[in-house]
Chain A
């Protein structure tokens, strides 16, 4: 079975500070893709960052970076220089290379405090 676990239902961070959101997953697949999606109050799903499991190098996108630990099946998201617009729900997601659907975590609600 494929599962994605986000153990932090809610988090807050001061503007301009750094915050890390955790995600662990469980799979028997050897190749897969991992994602972080942001869902602001508009409910639009916005892709934040993507990691391919066969790549050892951690993905980065501007202020967003991941710490991908394949052996530990961990995929945390670090947001640097937090901005008010980062306030949103964040979902960790996983797709096996042989599969056909996303597996989503339960989400972390992040609030950036001015």
Chain B
């Protein structure tokens, strides 16, 4: 089946620094990728929709200058948390849509990334 790889799976960074999380579609092209944040015992919260070659679409309340998203190729989207603070500590998950297939059965999730800001 289709695979989405997310890296790193765990990262610890110091407050004030930036950290980048990668989301790669390994065996399909993805013009659209999605970034979610998940707090403990809660559902996935969509942060932004990443579109290859264009600007990401951010959900209301998500700071676009803090959570930088780049989707420079059909297989890679990156989320950079800038000037990280302890409250940014969370579980981040990406998903990618297989552009070559019809809608509805072609969205695959990465393994997620734990970010801890100390």
Q: Contact residues of A with B, CB < 8 Å?
A: 33, 42-45, 50, 52, 91, 95, 97, 100-102, 104-107, 109
Contact A44 B112 (CB under 8 A): yes
Chain B residues within 8 Å of A106, by CB = 42-43
A72 CB → nearest B CB, Å: 21
Asked if B77 is at the interface of the complex by the 8 Å CB criterion, the answer is: no
Interface of B is mostly: strand
- Distance, CA A100 to CA B30, complexed state (A): 13
- What B residues does A91 contact at CB under 8 A? 43-44
**Given that A44-B111, A44-B112, A45-B109 are known contacts, is A102 also in contact with B104, CB under 8 Å in the complex?**
no
Q: How far is the CA of A107 from the CA of B38 in the complex (A)?
A: 12
From A42, A52, A105, A109, B41 is in contact (CB under 8 Å) with A109
Assess whether A100 is in contact with B46, with CB atoms less than 8 Å apart: no
Contacts of A50 in B (CB 8 A): 104-105
Contact between A102 and B46, CB atoms less than 8 A apart? yes
What 1/0 mask marks residues of chain B from 60 to 99 whose CB sits below 8 Å from any chain A CB?
Answer: 0000000000000000000000000000000101010000
Q: Known contacts A50-B105, A95-B103; decide if A101 and B34 are in contact (CB<8 Å).
A: yes
> A107-B42, A109-B41 known; A97 and B103 CB under 8 Å?
yes
Q: Which residues of A contact B95 (CB under 8 A)?
A: 45, 102
Q: With an 8 A cutoff between CB atoms, is B107 at the interface?
A: yes
Compute how far the CA of A100 lies from the CA of B88 in the bound complex, rounded to whole angstroms: 26
Instruction: For residue B109, give the distance in angstroms from its CB to the closest CB of chain A.
Output: 4
CA distance A38 to B105 in the complex (A): 16
Residues in A neighbouring B42, C-beta threshold 8 A: 106-107
Contact A102 B107 (CB under 8 A): yes
* The 4 A-B residue pairs with the shortest CB-CB distance in the complex, in nearest-first order: A33-B104, A45-B109, A104-B43, A43-B112
